[in-house]
């Protein structure tokens, strides 16, 4: 009898785990930031090309790439959630690469800036 109760308990436990994960998901509210995935970097520690891009952003250009200044949609949801149009992205040139490469600076309307060196897989918040 205890063998059957143990099997029944194990089956119930596995079902709860499976169906609990199936129907339960964690989503950030629009005001929550998934900031735990973002580290901080000082301007001094940025690569020289990123510093130059920051200077161009502060001056309002001119930018070397046509796509500089386009809306960054934050599809990865790594940066704090914000309405579409809140973020803009700018290319950080990579020496030895002919295309735009993976490095970007993303800016927000509140003057915050983020650096990614792996095409939005991770970010550093730039500390001025």
Ordered structural domains, the chain, with CATH: 29-127 (3.10.450.30)
- Summarised one tens digit per residue, pLDDT across range 16-48 is 444 444 333 334 444 444 444 689 999 999 999
Spot the catalytic one: 32, 44, 112, 119.
Answer: 119
Which pLDDT score is estimated for 14?
44
Q: Which residue out of 27, 32, 44, 89 is catalytically annotated?
A: 89
76 is catalytic: no
Bridge partners for 87 per DSSP:
72, 108
How does the average pLDDT of the chain come out, rounded? Answer: 82
Q: Report residue 93's pLDDT band, with 50, 70 and 90 as the boundaries.
A: very high
3-class SS string, 42-99: EHHHCCHHHHHHHHHHHHCCCCCCCCCCEEECCCCCCCCCCCCCCEEEEECCCCCCCC
What's the confidence (pLDDT) of residue 101? 95
Instruction: With a cut of 50, say whether residue 83 has pLDDT above it.
Output: yes
Q: In this predicted structure, what is the pLDDT of residue 21?
A: 40
Q: What is the pTM of this model?
A: 0.72
Q: Is 27 a catalytic residue?
A: no
pLDDT tens-digit readout, 101-117: 999 999 999 999 999 99
Cβ burial 79-96 (10 Å sphere, 16+ → b, else e): bbebeeebbbbbbbbeee
């Amino acid at each position: 009898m205890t063998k059957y109760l143990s099997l029944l308990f194990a089956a119930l436990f596995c079902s709860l785990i499976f169906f609990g994960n199936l129907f339960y998901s964690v989503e950030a509210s629009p005001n929550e930031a998934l900031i735990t995935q973002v580290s901080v970097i000082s301007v001094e520690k940025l690569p020289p090309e990123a510093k130059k891009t920051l200077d161009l952003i502060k001056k309002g250009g001119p930018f070397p790439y046509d796509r500089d200044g386009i809306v960054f949609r934050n599809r990865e949801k790594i940066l704090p959630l914000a309405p579409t149009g809140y973020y803009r992205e700018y290319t950080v040139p990579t020496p030895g690469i002919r295309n735009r490469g993976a490095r970007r600076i993303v800016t927000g309307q509140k003057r915050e800036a983020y650096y990614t060196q792996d095409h939005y897989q991770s970010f550093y918040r730039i500390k001025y």
